Amino acid sequence: MLLFRSEENVSAWCRERSLPRQPLVTLDQLWHLALTWYENRLTVESRRPAASEMVSIFASIGLTGPFWDPNADAWASTG
């Protein structure tokens, strides 16, 4: 995932690569994800969230739909 100054820059980046523009994430949403994934990473208990947990975490900050589902068949079948 990449950082951009503006939505216009995202669109230009996608256009240059003939890639679809995917949902955008705000800095606040990303900070929430960073905390959820990593705030106990230096401890013995740390682990990556399970797929079902990931769906809940994403949904809690408004990121929903198959793009944010690690088990989404529509993506996995071509991945």
Partner 1 sequence: MDLDDTVKLEIYGRLALSGTAPTATDVAHALALAPDEVTAAFARLHQRRLLVPEPGDPSRIRMAPPFSGVETPFRVQAGGTTYFANCVWDALGIPAALHRDAAVDARDGHTGEPMRLEVKHGAAVPTPCVIHFAVPAARWWTDIVYT
Q: Smallest distance from the beta carbon of 62 to partner 1, in angstroms? A: 14
Nearest to 53, CA basis, from 68, 39, 67: 68
Q: Does 53 bind partner 1 (CB under 8 A)?
A: no
Q: Does 7 bind partner 1 (CB under 8 A)?
A: yes
Q: Does 23 bind partner 1 (CB under 8 A)?
A: yes
Please state, in angstroms and rounded to a whole number, the distance separating the CA atoms of residues 35 and 8: 28
Q: Smallest distance from the beta carbon of 60 to partner 1, in angstroms? A: 15
Q: Does 42 bind partner 1 (CB under 8 A)?
A: yes
For residue 19, give the DSSP letter: -
Q: Which helix (H) or strand (E) holds 18?
A: none
Please state, in angstroms and rounded to a whole number, the distance separating the CA atoms of residues 56 and 15: 31
Q: Smallest distance from the beta carbon of 50 to partner 1, in angstroms? A: 11
Q: Does 76 bind partner 1 (CB under 8 A)?
A: yes
